[in-house]
Structure 1
Amino acid sequence: MSQLFNDRALKQRHRSGDRNGPVTLLTPPLRATLGLGALIALAGGVWATFARIPVSVQGSGVLLPVSTINASLSGTNGSAVYMFNKPQKEWHKKARYFATSPDKVTNEELLKLAKSIYEESYNTVSLASGSSASEIFARNLKETFTGLKVPKGQLMMWIQSSGELERLSSTIEDVERAIATNKAQRENIERKQIILGKELKSRSSYLQSMNDLAKKGFVNMQSILQEQSQVDNVKSQILNNNDQLIEIINKLAESYSSLRGQTAKLINKQLIYAGQDLYISSIIPNNGEGVGEGDVLMQLSNNQLDQPVMVPVFLSSKEMAQVFPGMQALATPSGYKRSEVGGIRGKVVSMAKLPSGLQEVKARTGVKALAQSIVSEEPVPTLAVVALEQSDQSPINGGGYRWSSDSDLPYPPTPGDSLSVEITTRKVAPISLVIPAIRSFFGITPPEAPKGAAKQGSRAETDQSDNR
């Protein structure tokens, strides 16, 4: 009876929250959440296994053609005067011809050339002195010569040295003075020679008559000898006059020789010509600015600078080992955000076999500061040549290149801009990038030793071998 009473009491007991029927562990929202999570995990696993993501390396380049950019140096101290933007004059050609073939230029042509050079230098100095510094600076700001083509044989720049020009002027005066003196002395001697020639002719005729009379006994031998002495004296005077002619001719030749040497020295040191068709990459001094001997005046390229197709890119040795011809590249000029405009599409066409030093990088970029920046970022830079793709449907300010984005650009790229280049080396599954980290975490593969530790270990082994 007590058991029945207890069972009835327990059945009548009621607690808040008790429900009749079975208890549900997974409610519909929870089941939906778990199902969605399972689908996401499954999709992530499928994506990590079958998807392909690009793996790329970074490099630094410059928007210039792949060619050696040579520096033109000043041969003397003086003022740099722009000549490439001025019409070519006749004396420009004459000066270059004299520099290459001095023996084919006569003395008269040489004197005319030297006077033209000196007069032209005076005119350029007068024009420069007539402009204020602010006017010259404002004019230089309006003018840009980057990419300007200079044909072969054109005078590009004139480094005017006042000291050398004064020496040239003094030499010209010496030659002109020698010419005037030579002319006067030569005329005097020639007149003397005419008089002496007539005297010699008459005395010779008289001596011949005396010899004829001597045969008949009308003239004694003493008179004949005296006349013969007079004839010989006239001949001696004629020979002395000839020696004087030779002497004054030699003096004039020495003056011309001095002028020839001074003119050649001035042309070689002051006048800078284009040895072949060149393109101006950059000009260092302003027009009329003073420069020193050995200073860099211009950076010159053999190839056209506008819209270069083949551009140099520098990669580290580790990154270069992953790059091969045919790989796709994306080059973003400085001043652009890759997230906004992307970059210029391109392709790797060739690679250098050996790393480049500072001088080689400078020869490709043409700017020492940019070369130093590349070398500082990449201690062992190696050259790779990237061909940029061109397109007729380039966006506004696209520079004629094929960009990865179709959005309009705020301004066009300019030659000489530094490039941030991304080269796609391969495409891999995402899971393959995670597996090595998992293996290393669980100790399946040994961890890689740091480079510093490896070097210290090799040094320790070397020290132990030395102690032995």
Structure 2
Amino acid sequence: MNQLFNDRALKQRHRSGDQNGPVTLLTPPLRATLGLGALIALAGGLWATFARIPVSVQGSGVLLPVSTINASLSGTKGIAIYMFNKPHKEWQKQARYFATYPDRINNQELLRLAKTIYEESHITTSLSTNTTASEIFARNLKETFTGLKIHKGQLMMWIQSAGELEQLSSSIEEVERSLETNKAQRLNIQSKQVILKNELKSRSAYLQSMSELAKKGFVNMESMLQEQSQVDNVRSQILSNRNQLIDITNKLKNSYSSLRGQTAKIIDKQLIYAGQNLYISSIIPNNGENVGEGDLLMQLSNNQLDQPVMVPVFLSSKEMAQVQPGMKVLATPAGYKRAEVGGIRGKVVSMAKLPSGVEEVTARTGVKALANSIVSKKSVPTLAVVALEKSDQSPINGGGYRWSSDSELPYPPTPGDALSVEITTRRVAPISLVIPAIRSFFGITPPDTPQKVVPHGSLDDTNQGTK
């Protein structure tokens, strides 16, 4: 029975038209398939050996200049008034000059400056308090101050404290009262001095004549002593009046000194000036909003925020060890899909030598929440500076950058966007990525042992325990 089936199978494998010919085990379709497979395997082997694929590391950055984002804090408790969007006035310049060179401002100029500051505080406060909350919200939607340039010496914000302004008003009134009193008392004393000096002159002449008569025996000594006592009394009154002049002068000086100190306090704590050319990164309080002492008011940058070229990127220590200056970068802002639009081309310019903490990352990004996110992703983040490429032929909504894809972008990138950064570290043959795994599988090389992450502070605790 088995022989019968074998004969039938052999007959079916004979070539057509030749029942007695040799048996064909590989049909033409099967041979073609095997040949194609061999070619594919050969091509795959050649590609795995000679091709070069990129190896990259991932980093986190922000679309802001690499310069530090500085925080401006409130020096007192009061109402925050925007001044950077108002016309510049002369008193603002004079107030800053007084804060820098207080000894060069005389008392009359000081009084005018203090009165101007007090009057301007009522003008700006009335403008802010007459605006409703809905109007403020609608205005904030229309106005955006991010990236606005603030010139050196410009008054940016005024934190108006009602208590300090009332103290300034009291100091002004005290000076004005002292001026009026000083003038009246000075005129009165000066009139007395004229009378006393004339009396002293006549009595001194009379005493001189009595002295000559006394030598001749016509005037006794008692009369001489009485007249001398009168002369001394007039001189004493003159000296007393001089002391009164000194006292009222000192009172006026003290009132001016109090006004000078209160004016300096107002300028130092309430008026916030730009020490150099700055750019606004963000403004925290609304115009006319109450703030406390030490509250964050503004985030400021030394460099222009629009279309930054040098941006900060943070990498872990393991990733940073693979990065060198000149390596190519692909930075994709948050909200974009890299598979659709690619990213902004760039290259690594420099790297920091030491890792950064939360404070350093916050200073670079300007947002503490973003800094905490970066530190949580990168346990030991280290700063790398990336130069983004600019292009005159940037796609629509491209922000002036050179993108890896020419596809149309849905919206332009904005300053402050988080960046997902891919840095190409090297190009290797695909087979070189497989060989280490094969060696480890067959035991040719020992497997890598993962390093244990030591929590922050545990090393110090261990060292203390061994002492």
Q: TM-score, normalised by structure 1?
A: 0.90
Letter in 2 for 1:261: G
Output one character per residue of 1:119-147: Cα deviation in whole Å (capped at 9) or x when no partner: 11111111111111111121122111111
Partner residue in 1 for 2:163: 163
Output one character per residue of 1:65-122: Cα deviation in whole Å (capped at 9) or x when no partner: 1112111111111111111111221111111111111111111111111111111111
Partner residue in 2 for 1:441: 441
Partner residue in 2 for 1:388: 388
Q: Mean Cα displacement is larger for which, 279-288 or 228-237? A: 228-237
Q: Mean Cα displacement is larger for which, 88-97 or 197-206? A: 197-206
* Cα displacement (A) at 1:203: 2.7
Relative distance call for 1:14 and 1:401 in structure 2 (3 A) is: closer
Counterparts of 1:454 and 1:129, CA distance in 2: 55
Task: State the secondary structure of the residue aligned to 1:203.
Answer: helix
Residues 1:195 and 2:195 are matched in the alignment: yes
Relative distance call for 1:304 and 1:56 in structure 2 (3 A) is: same
Partner residue in 2 for 1:258: 258
Counterparts of 2:75 and 2:20, CA distance in 1: 106
Letter in 2 for 1:361: V
Which consecutive residues of structure 2, in runs of 5 or more, have no partner in the other structure? none
Counterparts of 1:185 and 1:453, CA distance in 2: 82
* Cα displacement (A) at 1:25: 2.3
Partner residue in 2 for 1:282: 282
Partner residue in 2 for 1:6: none
Output one character per residue of 1:415-449: Cα deviation in whole Å (capped at 9) or x when no partner: 11111110000011111111112222222222222
Relative distance call for 1:308 and 1:30 in structure 2 (3 A) is: same
Task: State the secondary structure of the residue aligned to 2:57.
Answer: strand
Residues 1:429 and 2:435 are matched in the alignment: no
Letter in 2 for 1:420: S
* Cα displacement (A) at 1:209: 3.8
Task: State the secondary structure of the residue aligned to 2:407.
Answer: coil
Task: State the secondary structure of the residue aligned to 1:336.
Answer: coil
Counterparts of 1:324 and 1:30, CA distance in 2: 52
Matches within 5 A, 1:305-324: 305-324=305-324
Q: Mean Cα displacement is larger for which, 29-38 or 235-244? A: 29-38
Relative distance call for 1:217 and 1:452 in structure 2 (3 A) is: closer
Residues 1:113 and 2:94 are matched in the alignment: no
* Maintained 8 Å contact 2:58/2:422: yes
Output one character per residue of 1:165-195: Cα deviation in whole Å (capped at 9) or x when no partner: 1111111111111111111111111121122
Counterparts of 1:211 and 1:34, CA distance in 2: 152
Task: State the secondary structure of the residue aligned to 2:112.
Answer: helix
* Maintained 8 Å contact 2:129/2:288: no
Letter in 1 for 2:251: K
* Cα displacement (A) at 1:206: 3.3
Task: State the secondary structure of the residue aligned to 2:437.
Answer: helix
Counterparts of 1:84 and 1:452, CA distance in 2: 53
Partner residue in 1 for 2:352: 352
Partner residue in 2 for 1:74: 74
Residues 1:304 and 2:304 are matched in the alignment: yes
Matches within 5 A, 1:68-217: 68-215=68-215, 217=217
Q: Mean Cα displacement is larger for which, 221-230 or 15-24? A: 15-24
Partner residue in 2 for 1:5: none
Relative distance call for 1:43 and 1:14 in structure 2 (3 A) is: closer
Counterparts of 2:326 and 2:264, CA distance in 1: 52
Partner residue in 2 for 1:420: 420
Counterparts of 2:248 and 2:279, CA distance in 1: 50
Counterparts of 2:211 and 2:145, CA distance in 1: 88
Once superposed, what is the RMSD of the aligned Cα atoms? 2.4
Counterparts of 1:223 and 1:131, CA distance in 2: 84
Task: State the secondary structure of the residue aligned to 1:56.
Answer: strand
Partner residue in 1 for 2:55: 55
User: Which segments of structure 1 move beyond 6 Å, counting only runs of 4 or more?
Assistant: 13-17
Q: Mean Cα displacement is larger for which, 380-389 or 398-407? A: 398-407
Relative distance call for 1:34 and 1:210 in structure 2 (3 A) is: same
Letter in 2 for 1:397: N
Q: Mean Cα displacement is larger for which, 295-304 or 26-35? A: 26-35
Partner residue in 2 for 1:27: 27
Counterparts of 2:288 and 2:357, CA distance in 1: 34
Relative distance call for 1:414 and 1:43 in structure 2 (3 A) is: same
Counterparts of 1:225 and 1:291, CA distance in 2: 75
Counterparts of 1:233 and 1:377, CA distance in 2: 91
* Cα displacement (A) at 1:198: 2.4
Output one character per residue of 1:215-272: Cα deviation in whole Å (capped at 9) or x when no partner: 5555444434333322222221111111111101111111111111111112111111
* Maintained 8 Å contact 2:349/2:385: yes
Letter in 1 for 2:67: S
Counterparts of 1:202 and 1:146, CA distance in 2: 81
Counterparts of 1:439 and 1:47, CA distance in 2: 21
Counterparts of 1:450 and 1:129, CA distance in 2: 63
Letter in 2 for 1:63: L
* Cα displacement (A) at 1:389: 0.9
Task: State the secondary structure of the residue aligned to 1:420.
Answer: strand
